[in-house]
Amino acid sequence: MPDEPASDAVFRPSHYARWNIEPITFISANNLDFLTGNVIKYVMRHDAKNGLEDLRKAARYLEILIGHVEREKAGAPIKVQAV
């Protein structure tokens, strides 16, 4: 949008402005699921926002995703859990 500033907390946060494509655009364009999208988002921004905390968040979502894939592979129902 032409009227948006180069960095805007809502439309173009500074921790994503350095990339040619923002995580939300990439995630949406590729129809990625919530868990995969969050892994991408937190890994991409970790060094410009919350550092190790973001990497831990990415790892947490990845752990959940791995659990879903393992259960799916075993033919078990996906267990819904709080994150």
In this predicted model, what pLDDT tens digit does every residue of 11-41 receive, in sequence order? 777 787 788 899 999 999 999 999 999 999 9
Task: Answer whether residue 82 shows pLDDT above 80.
Answer: no
**What amino acid occupies position 29?**
A
- Rg over alpha carbons for the chain, rounded to the nearest Å, is 15
pTM of the predicted model as reported, rounded to 2 decimal places:
0.77
Average pLDDT over residues 57-70: 96
**What amino acid occupies position 49?**
K
Q: Are 45 and 16 in contact (CB under 8 A)?
A: yes
Q: Are 40 and 32 in contact (CB under 8 A)?
A: yes
